[in-house]
Every structure is written in C-alpha cells, then in structure tokens.
Amino acid sequence: MNTHKSAWDEDYRRRGDLWGGAPAPLPDLPAGAAVLELGCGNGKTLAALTQQPWSVTAVDISPRAVSLARRRPGTAAANLVVADAACLPFRGEVFDAVFLVHVAGHLPETGRRNVASAVCRVLRPGGAAFFRAFSVEDMRAGKGVETEAQTFSRGNGIITHYFTETEVEELFAPLAPVSVRTRRWQMRIRGGDLPRAEIEAVFRKTG
Ligand SMILES: C[S@@+](CC[C@H](N)C(=O)[O-])C[C@H]1O[C@@H](n2cnc3c(N)ncnc32)[C@H](O)[C@@H]1O
C-alpha cells in the first residue's frame, strides 16, 4: 500500500466516520443521470447523491472508507469501488456528472493533473464536473510542513493543497468553466472568528 493510501486508511481505522454534517447542495440533473463521486470517504455526499434518481458510482483510494460508505444508510444502490481518482477504472465518456468534494486537494500536483485528465476522459460530451476544495484564503493554509507550493502536511501523512480560482480553472482546462467562485464563512474558535474559504466550481465538457 503506498503512503498516501495507507495514511487515509489509517485515519479511517483510528477515527471511523471522519465526515459528518450536511452535504453541500446538489445540482439539478435529469433522472437516470450516470454520476460519479471521486473520494467518497465515509459516504457523506454519497448518501445525498443516492437519494436522487441517478445511477451513482463512487470511488475512494481507502478500502476502509469504501467499507464505511457501504455501511452508511441509503448508499446500498451505489456502485462502490476502491480506486485511485488519478487512474479511473472506467471507460471513456460514460458519466454525465463527476463530483469532486474535497478530494483533489489531497493529491500532489502531478496527481491533481491526472485526476483532472481522468475526469475529462470519463465525462460524456455535455457532462459536468462539480468541484469543491479549500482556498488559499482558508485559515489552515500555511499550517504544517509545505511539501509543494501551497500544499501542507500536518503530520499524519495526509497533504492538503489550497487553491486559487485561476489555478482551478487552469487545472480543468479543456473543460469549459461554468462558474468558479469562493465561498467564505467564519468559524468561531475560542471566542475568535477565523476565516474559512473553499472554491466551488462547475465545468462542462463541450466537445
Ligand atoms: C476530505 S475526504 C472527502 C469526503 C467526501 N468527498 C465527502 O463529501 O464527505 C477525502 C477523501 O479522498 C480520498 N482520497 C484521497 N486521495 C485519493 C485518490 N487519489 N483517489 C481516490 N480517493 C482519494 C480519501 O481517502 C478521503 O476519503
């Protein structure tokens, strides 16, 4: 098992369901849409995707995450696969939508580029990618050891990259940007308000 994969697996082994709370709002897609989630973790977003009349596939690099997602109520209809988002085991042009919710930032630069090309490859013409990841404005940017530009490791082998809007747009070219924006909010910690910020973007495969 490579270090990256084993770091995630170890985190799920120690802490179980890492991701809770409400999932981000979902877009309108037609009934029967073939949808792929990359980095589904313990199934927080996946459980919302499977409430929709869509055919849902999800992958995660961590076998433990996939087994937690499988056990989560409501996910039984999903096709769950242990796989690296940078090297997807699917034929080209088979998905109408791909969701990347806080996954691309956990790969090094080469991996992020490979994920973006894999997304381009598996999307049908007219299909869309829905991206979410932390911004350089987030309070955690700059914390830990910098392993690459704007990428930080906080000691457990897991890295987090913090994006700019321009960078996200460049990463997903040749997909056409539909919207790329920063969502900002405050997190209250020990009486102080700290800035949280994530980039949410939608891209469409036009040709
Ligand atoms: C922050 S969690 C995302 C949780 C999930 N998307 C959600 O909405 O709750 C990041 C997930 O990405 C997975 N991951 C990291 N690198 C990956 C890769 N190269 N391929 C697939 N999954 C990966 C991790 O195992 C972890 O479960």
Task: Look up the pTM and report it.
Answer: 0.96
Rounded-to-integer distance, Cα 81 and Cα 61, Å: 9
- Which residue, by CA, sits nearest to atom 27 of ligand 1? 41
- Which residue, by CA, sits nearest to atom 12 of ligand 1? 39
147 is a domain residue: yes
User: What's the mean per-residue pLDDT of the chain?
Assistant: 95
Rounded to the nearest whole angstrom, what is the distance from the C-alpha of residue 129 to the centroid of ligand 1? Answer: 16
DSSP-derived 3-state class of residue 31: coil
Structural domain of 81:
3-19+30-204
Instruction: Show the CA angle centred on residue 19, arms to residues 100 and 41, nearest 5°.
Output: 50
The predicted-structure confidence for 47-87, as pLDDT tens digits, reads as follows: 999 999 999 999 999 999 999 999 999 999 999 999 999 99
176 is a domain residue: yes
DSSP letters of 109-173? Answer: HHHHHHHHHHHHHHEEEEEEEEEEEEBTTSTTTT-SEEEETTEEE-SSS-EEE-B-HHHHHHHHT
DSSP helix, strand, coil percent of the chain (3-state; round to 5): 25, 35, 40
Of all atoms in ligand 1, which is nearest to the CA of residue 19? 9
Q: Which amino acid is at 205?
A: K
Of all atoms in ligand 1, which is nearest to the CA of residue 23? 8
Rounded to the nearest whole angstrom, what is the distance from the C-alpha of residue 41 to the centroid of ligand 1? Answer: 5
11 is a domain residue: yes
Task: Decide if pLDDT at 190 tops 90.
Answer: no
Q: What is the CATH number of the domain that holds 15?
A: 3.40.50.150
Confidence of residue 3 (pLDDT cuts 50, 70, 90): confident
24 is a domain residue: no
Taking alpha carbons only, the member of 84, 66, 62 closest to residue 10 is: 62
The torsion angles phi and psi of 11, rounded to 5 degrees, stand at -65, -45
25 is a domain residue: no
78 is a domain residue: yes
Task: Decide if pLDDT at 180 tops 90.
Answer: yes
* pLDDT value for 140: 95
Instruction: Show the CA angle centred on residue 43, arms to residues 182 and 96, nearest 5°.
Output: 65
170 is a domain residue: yes
Rounded to the nearest whole angstrom, what is the distance from the C-alpha of residue 24 to the centroid of ligand 1? Answer: 15
Q: Strand pairing partners for 199? A: 133, 182
Of all atoms in ligand 1, which is nearest to the CA of residue 11? 25
User: Quick one: average pLDDT of 19-45?
Assistant: 95
Q: Which of 50, 61, 66, 112 to mutate to test the pocket of ligand 1 (most atoms within 8 A of CB)?
A: 61
Of all atoms in ligand 1, which is nearest to the CA of residue 100? 6
Confidence of residue 22 (pLDDT cuts 50, 70, 90): confident
* pLDDT value for 21: 84
Q: Is the CB of 106 under 6 A from ligand 1?
A: yes
* pLDDT value for 152: 97
Q: How many CA atoms lie within 13 A of 74 on its CB side?
A: 12
Rounded to the nearest whole angstrom, what is the distance from the C-alpha of residue 50 to the centroid of ligand 1? Answer: 18
* pLDDT value for 68: 96
Number of domains in the chain: 1
128 is a domain residue: yes
